[in-house]
Amino acid sequence: MRAKDVEFEVTFINLRDKPDWFLKISPHGKVPVLKVDDEILFESNAIAEYLDEALSPRLHPEDPIERARNRAWTDFVPSFASALSGIYYTKSREEMEKGLAKAPKAVERLEEALTGQRGRNAGPYFNGPGLSLVDCAYAPFLQRFLIADSYLKTGLLDGFPHVKAWADSLLGNDTITGAVAPEFLEEFHGNLRRREFYVASLMDGKAQAAE
């Protein structure tokens, strides 16, 4: 909706204390949910596809082949996201390193996809100079990984130049970075601390060193 420049209201939900009104409208008790007049839509991709059909400009490519390719790569988001969170949602350095050893397989797939795309367009986004739905689908997971990686310093993306350049472009775009709650960084750090992840010990070491 930010990319389409439409007016909307957003209510951020505390997932540790979901309000009753939210539980009544969200079939799985999950975010995001979109309310359009009296209609409720859920599932990120279904919401994004609806918005793209209902509101201009189209954020999916016009060409049906390109559109199918974009949807296919959007379907890969959950596998990609779990490969990344498998690195930083870990309780020890050893567990983190196991996650890190598994992650390149998924990142390599995306690198190959982007290499193919760069044969068709010059970037910096998946389909060229403008943001598309597929960019918006990957961005939150790249954003969270890059925050965690600023402490873990895994170097994971160094071996994948297209993914790294894409992630840097996405995280340099304020349509993307402005989409989170104002207290996002604090909440994200709080979540890692509460769950006692290994990365939180590095964050806190860093915080103490800075004091």
Ligand X SMILES: N[C@@H](CCC(=O)N[C@@H](CS)C(=O)NCC(=O)O)C(=O)O
E strand or H helix at 41: strand 39-42
**Is residue 82 a contact point for ligand X (CB under 6 A)?**
no
Q: Give the C-alpha separation, 98 to 159, whole Å.
A: 18
Q: Give the C-alpha separation, 55 to 143, whole Å.
A: 26
- Sequence-distant (6+) residues with CB within 8 A of 3 are 59, 131, 136, 175
**Is residue 71 a contact point for ligand X (CB under 6 A)?**
no
Nearest to ligand X of 21, 158 (CB atom): 21
**Residues 123/125/131/136 CA torsion (nearest 10 deg):** 170
**Is residue 1 a contact point for ligand X (CB under 6 A)?**
no
Measured from the CB of residue 26, what is the shortest distance to ligand X in angstroms? 8
Measured from the CB of residue 84, what is the shortest distance to ligand X in angstroms? 13
Measured from the CB of residue 186, what is the shortest distance to ligand X in angstroms? 17
Q: Give the C-alpha separation, 83 to 88, whole Å.
A: 10
Q: Which of 2, 34, 43, 171 binds ligand X (CB under 6 A)?
A: 43
Q: Which of 5, 12, 14, 15 binds ligand X (CB under 6 A)?
A: 15
Measured from the CB of residue 118, what is the shortest distance to ligand X in angstroms? 27
Measured from the CB of residue 207, what is the shortest distance to ligand X in angstroms? 25
Nearest to ligand X of 29, 205 (CB atom): 29
Measured from the CB of residue 171, what is the shortest distance to ligand X in angstroms? 18
Q: Which residue has the tokens 């990365």?
A: 199
Mark the segment that binds ligand X (CB under 6 A) among 25-33, 99-107, 150-158, 197-205: 25-33
Dihedral over Cα of 100, 124, 78, 31: its sign: positive
Q: Give the C-alpha separation, 193 to 198, whole Å.
A: 9
The type of residue at 113 is A
Q: Which of 29, 159, 161, 172 binds ligand X (CB under 6 A)?
A: 29
**Is residue 165 a contact point for ligand X (CB under 6 A)?**
no
**Is residue 44 a contact point for ligand X (CB under 6 A)?**
yes
**Is residue 98 a contact point for ligand X (CB under 6 A)?**
no
CB 173 within 8 Å of CB 180: no
Binding site for ligand X (CB under 6 A): 15, 29-32, 43-44
